[in-house]
Amino acid sequence: MARYWIGLFLATTLTAQELPRGQVIERVNVAGSEGQSYALYVPNGYSPDRAWPILYCLDPGARGRVPVERFAAAAEKAGFLVAGSNNSRNGPFAPSELAIRLMLTDTHARFQIDDSRVYAAGLSGGARLALAWAQNGHIAGVVASSAGFGAPTLPKQIPFLIFATAGADDFNHDELYRMSRELARRNIPHHYEEFEGGHEWLPAALTAKALEFFEGKIPAQAAAQSKEMDRLASRYDQLHQEIATSNDVEKAAVIHRLQKDAARGEDSGDRRVARRVIGGLSIEAMERGRDLMTNRQYADAARNYETGVLVRPENSGAWYSLAVAQAAAGNSRRALEALEQAAEKGFRDVSRLKQEPLLMRLHKEARYQAVLQKMR
């Protein structure tokens, strides 16, 4: 993904002068591509008299503004442009590839960009996408938040820098820890940072470090070899396997025990593992449920969403998804129970509820009307 794409829009006059500097712009529309946009930060000192480095951000939920805001202060200090796609997201590859290509084309048409200093950043599935992009060349470094390459073994050739971050409670923590240890074994330049948190973008406090690492201002740093880290990683794998092979009653018992450990006030290895397992189960259940709904496998989707609400009973969106799946599977009673729970937990999107075609069969039910009243 490089300058040869720019030819698509050379006929369009685009300048950086029309865009404000020193502030996060939530939406810059891609010229000639309706519906495609990106968030942007242009440092106050930007001038077309020289070429500038740029960081392209890929959020798994297409929330371009989130990473751009996170990097803005560091970018101002380091003199980086930052762009975050509002279209690239977890899911099929082709739409994200198109969004990246169009964002690259548009930013290169608007700004003077140093193609030897183009970087990418991603969270979760966005990190995997950024790393895959970098493997195809033209990317000098990647900020990988909460996910690595995703394969059991790392690529043989990694010709770019990696700044990897993991939350202590992140279900992908062990993947990133192991990736860093393997990169260190192979003497591949990278910098690993752990922070207090979960499956999320790196804290703003680490963004300056990331850009400084790319600029050669701070040294490489691998995750420290730790027997305790190895023990916790093995415990995570063991629990995940235990849950996967348990029946419903056994699975519920393990999850309830983990919820108690996760809620403990004092930090400990057991608490961290519990939070990682719960987070992983929740994401896995919701993502599998969405895929199954797309394929109209409603009963299987409902089973996954049942796991989602068991693991995160406070998640109103999970309860709503369960209601839709159960209604589609023909279980109206459970669908109404799930809707009531969604409302109880704070779900308030009345328009979405009323327009969902799979819930139409419930519209005449008194319990459905009561849910509507509660949400208003």
Q: Which of 374, 311, 363 is nearest to 335 (CA)?
A: 363
- For residue range 56-85, list pLDDT tens digits in order: 999 999 999 999 999 999 999 999 999 999
Burial of 34 (0-12, 13-18, 19+ CB in 10 A): exposed
Phi, psi dihedrals of residue 162, rounded to the nearest 5°: -130, 130
- For residue range 81-103, list pLDDT tens digits in order: 999 999 999 988 999 999 999 99
- Give the residue range(s) of CATH 3.40.50.1820 domains in the chain: 3-214
Proportion of the chain above pLDDT 70, given as a percent: 95
3-state secondary structure at position 264: coil
Evaluate if residue 185 carries a pLDDT over 80.
yes
- For residue range 213-251, list pLDDT tens digits in order: 999 999 999 999 999 999 999 999 999 899 999 999 999
- The pTM assigned to this predicted structure is 0.88
The whole-number pLDDT of residue 15 equals 60
**CA–CA distance, 307 with 305 (Å, rounded to integer):** 5
How does DSSP classify residue 276? H
pLDDT band at 352 (very low <50, low <70, confident <90, very high): very high
pLDDT band at 254 (very low <50, low <70, confident <90, very high): very high
**CA–CA distance, 158 with 220 (Å, rounded to integer):** 15
- For residue range 149-177, list pLDDT tens digits in order: 998 889 999 999 999 999 999 999 999 99
- Please give the mean pLDDT across all residues of the chain: 93
The 190-195 sheet, strands edge to edge: 24-29, 37-41, 81-85, 52-58, 113-123, 141-145, 161-167, 190-195
**Could you tell me which residue, 126 or 16, shows the higher pLDDT?**
126
**CA–CA distance, 3 with 106 (Å, rounded to integer):** 11
- For residue range 319-342, list pLDDT tens digits in order: 999 999 999 999 999 999 999 999
Provide CATH code, domain 246-375. 1.25.40.10
* Size of the chain in residues: 376
The whole-number pLDDT of residue 173 equals 97
Q: Which of 141, 109, 138 is nearest to 10 (CA)?
A: 109
**For residue 191, what are the β-bridge partners?**
163, 221
Burial of 248 (0-12, 13-18, 19+ CB in 10 A): exposed
Number of neighbouring beta carbons within 10 Å of residue 237: 12
Task: Tell me which architecture the domain covering 3-214 has in CATH.
Answer: 3-Layer(aba) Sandwich (3.40)
Phi, psi dihedrals of residue 347, rounded to the nearest 5°: -65, 130
How does DSSP classify residue 236? H
Confirm if 35 and 130 have CB atoms less than 8 A apart: no
How is residue 142 written in tokens? 């990647």
Number of neighbouring beta carbons within 10 Å of residue 5: 16
The whole-number pLDDT of residue 11 equals 31
The whole-number pLDDT of residue 13 equals 39
Instruction: Please state the rounded mean pLDDT for residues 21-30.
Output: 96
**CA–CA distance, 372 with 134 (Å, rounded to integer):** 48
